[in-house]
Amino acid sequence: MRGLIGNAHCVLFDFDGPVCHLFAARPADAVAGRLRQLATGLEADLGLSRLMNEELQASPDPQRVLLGIAARRPGWGVVQRLEAALTREEIAAATTAQPTPYAAALIASLTARGRQVAVVTNNSPQAVERYLNQHQLAGFVGGRIHGRTGDLSQLKPNPDCVLRALRSTRTPAERALMIGDATTDFVAARAAGVAFLGYAPNQAGADAFRAAGAEHLVRSLEEVLTALVTPAPE
């Protein structure tokens, strides 16, 4: 842990998980349901063929619903309206998001020790900005928020947001560390040549990371914070 954090000139955080629980008060499955309702309405209004299969009808993950519908190529306008709806949901959720234990302290401590901090996420950058402002963390990140764009094909596991963060911080890949809570984060970091630390607060997450080949895992960000602020033994 000390080696990972000591080598990193820049630390890239995934947002939903390592920084906060975005849908703590606005459950993700309810958001997914509202996206499905919008899609059903668009089907009727625009005379579209069925936009959702059985898997999407049952999915509790709003991003999976959005991406699944986009994969059926219903037209740019439909995807744009669904993505805008998800963005509004995420911004609203950011106001009631539950902070991840030790995340704020870790972000502040990294900055105090001369590291740059950036956010790399499949969520809306406006939602990230809302959360950071509300929790007085925006100054530590300094606008280095790299989130969802209009091109949904660039979402993780594609390394696009990680590469954008490296460019914005002018950090070589070998001097960066990414902290994420999903195997898609690990795949994106590996594709960009960035060291990865998996945040796995439960056994299921740890097992998924191990199966994907991730080597470095923590159950709590307290472990990272302790390694950062505790002097190395002589």
Q: What is the pLDDT of residues 141-188, one digit of tens each?
A: 999 999 999 899 999 999 999 999 999 999 999 999 999 999 999 999
pLDDT at 73 (0 to 100): 85
Angle 122-124-128 from CA coordinates, rounded to 5°: 100
pLDDT of residue 88: 98
CATH of domain 2-21+98-229: 3.40.50.1000
Strand partners, 54: none
Using a cut of 0.75, tell me whether the model's pTM lies above it.
yes
Distance between CA 23 and CA 74 in Å, rounded? 27
How confident is the model over 70-120, as pLDDT tens digits? Answer: 988 888 789 999 999 999 999 999 999 999 999 999 999 999 999 999 999
pLDDT above 90 covers a percentage of the chain that reads: 84
Domain segments of the chain: what residues? 2-21+98-229, 28-94
**Cα–Cα distance for residue pair 177/4, rounded to 1 Å:** 7
More confident residue, 178 or 1: 178
